[in-house]
Amino acid sequence: MPELEIIDWGRTRYNEAFEKQKARVGQRKAGECSDALIFTEHEPVYTMGLRKGADAHLIWKEAALAEQGIEVFKSNRGGDITYHGPGQIVGYPIISLQDRKDLHAYLRDIEEVVIRTLSRFGLQSARREGKTGIWLETRKICAIGVAVRSWVTYHGFALNVDPDMNHFNGIVPCGITDGTVTSLSNELGYSINIDEVKAALAVEFKEVLANTTVNHD
């Protein structure tokens, strides 16, 4: 596959990153740039996906949101409501699926990238039947919600490394009623260097996507 560019936007507000994503998608559609895996950490925000009833899963009212410094944003990604904030790696793959045109297979690839990455840190995670994202039994550690425009992907995944877990109390995360959310630091009992996790994700992303592309040729 063409060389994958790894980009780190650092800390961003969600709406600003959304506009930058859309600009990159336009460039990729026009052939003005290569495929990219973009990393960022968002300022605290609850984002609502397109799933019906997602807004009903916002628990905290305006006063609590203001006190915690959390914004609310309606997104066009798939899925329910979720939280983004510092200590969480958000990955935005902006890649062309023009030669594959299989969004379901792409989602499986994203899941595989996260599963392989977590295994590097001694965590055996998995998909959960009928649920999105990546799980450790009934504890969700990574949310996934993607979109595609003219077969160029955007949005992506959010992996909890060491975020403020209290902020998940303000929502029903991803509409989960039969499980909880967790993070790498919670599971391991110590803090993890977030740059180390980004590096592992980049390696696994290149490996999984390259093998998938070969298999589809």
Distance separating alpha carbons of residues 162 and 159, to the nearest angstrom: 9
* Closest alpha carbon to 170 in 74, 89, 84, 77: 84
> Are the C-beta atoms of residues 115 and 133 closer than 8 Å to each other?
no
Sheet with strand 45-48: strands edge to edge: 71-74, 45-48, 81-84
Give the CA radius of gyration of the chain: 16
Give the residue numbers annotated as catalytic, written as ranges: 174
Per-residue DSSP letter, 32 = S
| DSSP code string of 116-142 | HHHHHTT---B--TT--SEEETTEEEE
Listed in sequence order, the residues at least 6 apart from 191 whose beta carbon sits closer than 8 Å to its beta carbon are: 162, 185
Instruction: State the DSSP H helix or E strand holding residue 155, giving kind and residue range, or none if neither.
Output: strand 152-160
> Are the C-beta atoms of residues 10 and 41 closer than 8 Å to each other?
yes
Spacing of C-alpha 8 from chain mean position: 14
